[in-house]
Amino acid sequence: MIIVDTSVWIEYLKGNEHYRNVLPQYLREKHVVAISAIFGELLQGVQNKREYEIIAGFWESLPKVNEKELFIEAGKLSYEYKLYNSGVGLIDTYILAAALKNDYALWSLDKTLYKAIDIIENK
């Protein structure tokens, strides 16, 4: 399964050709899993009712990450690797914790998320 980060969804929704070609395949093959933090960010940025309906539709139709106690796990992960001190916020750590906990792939364009991954892998 793949957690598709906000940055990738935005490129897809903007019509970026690469993401318009790749993401639908993952969606058809049921490889994408949704997490509330990402869809909350997407919904926060909607510009009109049509965008809202598209994003809400994806949220309703996709399987969901088990988020039970995930903020606690994210806090522990941040503490253990001093991610906050490295400029990695709790939402990014939350998304990363979900990927690690469930052994999911993470598709992102966010350099901060990759910085966190580097910190964890190199410690």
> pLDDT tens digits, residue range 16-69?
999 999 999 999 999 999 999 999 999 999 999 999 999 999 999 999 999 999
Question: Rounded to whole angstroms, how far apart are CA atoms 31 and 26?
Answer: 5
Q: Is the dihedral of CA 96, 100, 102, 106 positive or negative?
A: positive
Residue type, 3: I
Measured N-to-C along each axis, helices 49-61 and 6-14 cross at an angle, to the nearest 10 degrees, of 130
**Does the pTM exceed 0.85?**
yes
Question: Rounded to whole angstroms, how far apart are CA atoms 27 and 80?
Answer: 34
Q: Is the dihedral of CA 46, 47, 48, 50 positive or negative?
A: negative
The pLDDT value given to residue 39: 98
3-state DSSP assignment of residue 24: helix
Q: Taking 80 as the threshold, does the pLDDT of residue 123 lie above it?
A: no
